[in-house]
A and B are shown apart, each in its own frame.
Chain A
Amino acid sequence: MSESEHKQPTRQTSEGFVFVREVGGISEYTLVSNGLTVLVMENHTAPVATVMVTYRVGSRNEAVGYTGSTHILEHMMFKGSKNFNEENGKPFWKVIEGTGAELNGTTWYDRTNYYETVPVEHLEMAIAMEADRMRNVLLQKSDLDTEMTVVRNEYESNENDPSDALQKLIWSTAYQAHPYHHSTIGWKSDIENTNVERLRDFYDTFYWPNNATVTVLGDTNIEAALSLIKKYFGEHPSSPKPIPKMLVQEPKQEGQRRFIIRREASKTMVGVAHKTPPGIHEDTATLLVLVNILSAGKGSRFYRRFIDRGLATAVSIHSFPFHDNGLFEAYVTAAPGVKLENLEKLIIAEYKSIQSKGITAKELKRIKAQVRASMLYQRDGTYSVAGEINEAIAMGDWTMYTRLPEAIENVTVADVQRVAETYLVESQGTVGYFIPKNS
């Protein structure tokens, strides 16, 4: 964060709001009446605006037997609310799609979000609809009866993909106690046994203004956006009880974990994952540099080692910064005739090379240039900035949206070697193979 961003707020406070800070051109306010966090940024490149509501609840807040509840609730949020429903002739989807909006909802470990990118004349409608379903969702059993099978089919379609099955088992093997153990979509039997009472309880626990952030970006001015937010979200009180905290900590891993999935398929894959610290940890920026050195673009180490040599048809590495600890994940899809054992050895060899020899200054310079460019690319349109802010909120601090790129600017060659030595160690690793039954 730059010096200027530490200054005391000087912005005129809009009525009903407290101005908190401005970082990276984004202004943060709190709606005093209910604790709602509001982020706004003007962008006048096109007559369009994006509204996003991020709830600080995800599958990490679920317990055994109720996995997937957050995601099913996200689906149910589209089935109708007090003022927008099929009975009154204003079903949510039909009304909002009628504006030409790009819209959706998504759920992940630490957050659930809903967004609409609309022609700016429909901004008020989008805000009104989001505010209505924040506290007035209908949650009817008849709707859940049909939506459960929709969600189950989403689960089924994911299962058709070997990559998805492999990644799911990597996480559930690496994390035994922490709720990152189960994937966001949940276990199939939990999806099938979900019930309205549980969803209502979940909704009444987490869907409150003081557990949410409303982000508005686009062709509007800040005062106008705040006025609309106050008009609609200001109707809701803050939660009657404190939002519960999730306190489970993963016990220390004491040795490498391995598994094999055998299924009828034509894809052969290996996944190698290592534990990483929480997203707001100081090493996150360096881990992201390391990910990019290994896998960003065709000049990356993994592309050249695996794809250019004909050993693999696809490679991917990610280290998503989450609220709690995460994983540094590498997945390689074998080319015909290439053994997974050899691919695994090569992945580890690349890690060991960085641990012993480090990276080059040229590699680091390339990654920093890519990050700088990507920050500018994100300003092309309104949705991509909102999407990045959404993930920073999930980490626990929306300013990570700008702080992470700033931290990446300060990463050194030595830092990268150090984090590789610290985190990419065998005892903290999980290795999974996906092998076709007929091979």
Chain B
Amino acid sequence: MDRITPKIKDTTPIPGLRLVMLHAPVSEVVTIQGSILGGDVFSPADNPLLASLTADMLDEGTQHHSKNVIREKLESVGASLEFGASQYRVWFNLKCLKKDVPLGIRLLAEQLREPAFNEADFLVVQKRIIGSLEQNREDTEVQAKIARGRLLFPKGHPNYPYNTHESIEYVKKASADQLKDFHRKVYGLGEAIVVAVGDFKEDKLLGEVEKAFAGWRMNSLPKSMEFVPALPSSRENKFITLKDKENVDLVYGQALGITRDHEDFESLRLGIRILGGDFSSRLNWHVRNRLGLTYGIVSGIGGYASGYDGFFSVRGIFAPSLLGRGMNESENQIKAWAEHGVTSEELGQKKKTVAGEYVVALETTNGLSSAILGVLERGKPLEYLDEYPSIVQAITLDQVNSAIPKYINSNSITKVAAGSIDSEGKPLNS
């Protein structure tokens, strides 16, 4: 594959905003992604959901246009513009045709800079979010993952999840005025990133970005923050009873204590990929393909994407009657992997997979812009885009097999299952 970096135009049209542009040979289509600081970790201590609620209100109207006017402007040209909050950043994603880039950028800036926070609109959004949270009470996957997160991380760590009841209470106590105040104090330029990929004129797009964001306040939020460490690993089991569920969600976890910038991270990630990252990985091959116990079981690293110390994760689904066997077989695989590592053949195969996947992932404007934004949010140079495949190819068997036992102890992995099972994990009615 040709190198991407030489084709990228990296600019700073106004202080505090980095605009990165890549022309892609796709007719008329433009994808613009980006982010500013203002994610969950910036929420005040008395309401950790305030950042997410603020982002949820960005497309509910501005000081100049009602939400319906904005929707009409975008939808009448087939464009879409979405916002959301991650742990550290507020993200946005604009998709439009070449002719509509000026409109899209103007609305993007207006919604980020001058949201209305109308009280009546907030009450509707608040009710809707509470309704969705209420619906999660019976969701086996959501409840298993919340319980696991709380066993791995203490309150105050970005990966600590609030339970459904707590989340509802936080949403209830928020007000439109609090969101307005949070927005006024937190949102702004400084670490703003805009990535545009597709069919556009660079100078014109740059001019639109400059015009739309000029004069916005600079924020002074920290680039990184310190948090309490993860909880010590422990072999805790938790079984959550939810009636009338044909399927059980089973999750395992162990806090890793390292971030994605640690020198062991990519080696560990490749090792975890060999355990359960795709269909031909060990867990799927054994537990699904050979034994037929599950429709799917997958392993990975969670909670690291915003730059925090993440956790080793395995998730599988099982019929209640097959859960016991599913747990035994999954745990045997994890144990053998953690204690004996991976083989040279497995590593070679997975490196080829990762190299090919990279080419396929960069096929679309969305894939390219996501990859570029990811690199910039990490604070890596753009060249990392082209270097990443060779970084993975250079990982040795020794590095992988040293990293696995260093961070994964199969004797102290946390396990949670949720579904129609009793407090010992046995099927209900058996």
In the complex, chain A residues whose CB is within 8 Å of the CB of B139 = 266
Interface residues of B in 89-117 (CB under 8 A from A): 95-97
In the complex, chain B residues whose CB is within 8 Å of the CB of A374 = 78
Report A310-336 CB contacts with B as 1/0, cut-off 8 Å: 101110000000000000000001111
From residue B417, how far is it (CB to closest CB) to chain A in Å?
13
A282 near B: Cβ within 8 Å? no
B289 near A: Cβ within 8 Å? yes
The A-B contact count (CB < 8 A) is 192
Q: Please state if A48 and B319 are interface contacts (CB–CB under 8 Å).
A: no
Q: Please state if B137 and A376 are interface contacts (CB–CB under 8 Å).
A: no
In the complex, chain A residues whose CB is within 8 Å of the CB of B59 = 298
In the complex, chain B residues whose CB is within 8 Å of the CB of A369 = 76-78
Q: Please state if B318 and A263 are interface contacts (CB–CB under 8 Å).
A: no
In the complex, chain A residues whose CB is within 8 Å of the CB of B130 = 336
Which residue of A97, A101, A265, A299 is within 8 Å of B68 (Cβ)? A299
Interface residues of A in 56-111 (CB under 8 A from B): 79, 91, 93-94, 97-102
B257 near A: Cβ within 8 Å? no
- Count contacts on B: residues with CB < 8 A to the other chain: 76
- Interface stretch, picked from A236-244, A301-309, A415-423, is A301-309
Which residue of A45, A97, A148 is within 8 Å of B279 (Cβ)? A97
Q: Please state if A264 and B295 are interface contacts (CB–CB under 8 Å).
A: no
A7 near B: Cβ within 8 Å? no
Interface residues of B in 266-288 (CB under 8 A from A): 278-280, 288
Q: Please state if B247 and A149 are interface contacts (CB–CB under 8 Å).
A: no
Residue in chain B with minimal CB distance to A268 = B135
Report B228-254 CB contacts with A as 1/0, cut-off 8 Å: 000000000000001111110000000
Q: Please state if A149 and B292 are interface contacts (CB–CB under 8 Å).
A: yes
Residue in chain A with minimal CB distance to B288 = A150
In the complex, chain B residues whose CB is within 8 Å of the CB of A149 = 292-293, 319, 322
Name the interface size band of chain A: 35 or more
Cα–Cα distance between A122 and B207 once the two chains are bound (Å): 42
Which residue of A150, A155, A379 is within 8 Å of B27 (Cβ)? A379
Interface residues of A in 147-166 (CB under 8 A from B): 147-157, 159-160
User: With A97-B353, A335-B131 in contact, is A380–B362 under 8 Å at CB?
Assistant: no
In the complex, chain A residues whose CB is within 8 Å of the CB of B366 = 380
User: With A117-B360, A373-B78 in contact, is A266–B135 under 8 Å at CB?
Assistant: yes
Interface residues of A in 233-267 (CB under 8 A from B): 263-267
From residue B324, how far is it (CB to closest CB) to chain A in Å?
14
In the complex, chain B residues whose CB is within 8 Å of the CB of A370 = 75, 78
Q: Please state if A45 and B25 are interface contacts (CB–CB under 8 Å).
A: yes
User: With A99-B353, A119-B359, A379-B29 in contact, is A160–B247 under 8 Å at CB?
Assistant: yes
In the complex, chain A residues whose CB is within 8 Å of the CB of B137 = 266
A349 near B: Cβ within 8 Å? no
From residue A52, how far is it (CB to closest CB) to chain B in Å?
15
User: With A296-B75, A370-B75 in contact, is A46–B362 under 8 Å at CB?
Assistant: yes
Q: Please state if A44 and B363 are interface contacts (CB–CB under 8 Å).
A: no
Interface residues of A in 374-389 (CB under 8 A from B): 374, 376-377, 379-382
Q: Please state if B291 and A146 are interface contacts (CB–CB under 8 Å).
A: yes
Cα–Cα distance between A91 and B349 once the two chains are bound (Å): 13
B290 near A: Cβ within 8 Å? yes
From residue B245, how far is it (CB to closest CB) to chain A in Å?
5
In the complex, chain A residues whose CB is within 8 Å of the CB of B349 = 94, 98
From residue A133, how far is it (CB to closest CB) to chain B in Å?
16
In the complex, chain B residues whose CB is within 8 Å of the CB of A362 = 76
From residue A51, how far is it (CB to closest CB) to chain B in Å?
13
Report A152-196 CB contacts with B as 1/0, cut-off 8 Å: 111111011000000000000000000000000000000000000
Which residue of A119, A151, A298 is within 8 Å of B360 (Cβ)? A119
Report B253-268 CB contacts with A as 1/0, cut-off 8 Å: 0000000000000000
In the complex, chain B residues whose CB is within 8 Å of the CB of A99 = 352-353, 356
B67 near A: Cβ within 8 Å? yes
In the complex, chain A residues whose CB is within 8 Å of the CB of B78 = 369-374
B1 near A: Cβ within 8 Å? yes
Q: Please state if A377 and B95 are interface contacts (CB–CB under 8 Å).
A: yes
Residue in chain A with minimal CB distance to B279 = A93
Residue in chain B with minimal CB distance to A157 = B247
User: With A145-B292, A153-B295, A153-B318 in contact, is A299–B134 under 8 Å at CB?
Assistant: no
B28 near A: Cβ within 8 Å? yes
Given A150-B295, A157-B295, 20 additional A-B pairs, CB 8 A:
A45-B26, A91-B280, A93-B280, A97-B278, A99-B356, A100-B353, A100-B358, A149-B293, A153-B293, A156-B317, A157-B317, A264-B245, A266-B139, A310-B128, A313-B135, A369-B77, A370-B78, A380-B31, A380-B366, A381-B364
* Cβ-closest 10 pairs across A and B: A100-B356, A373-B78, A146-B292, A264-B244, A299-B71, A156-B246, A381-B364, A100-B357, A264-B243, A149-B292
Can you list 11 A-B contacts with CB-CB less than 8 angstroms, sorted by A residue number? Answer: A93-B280, A101-B360, A119-B1, A122-B356, A153-B318, A157-B246, A266-B139, A299-B72, A310-B128, A313-B131, A369-B76
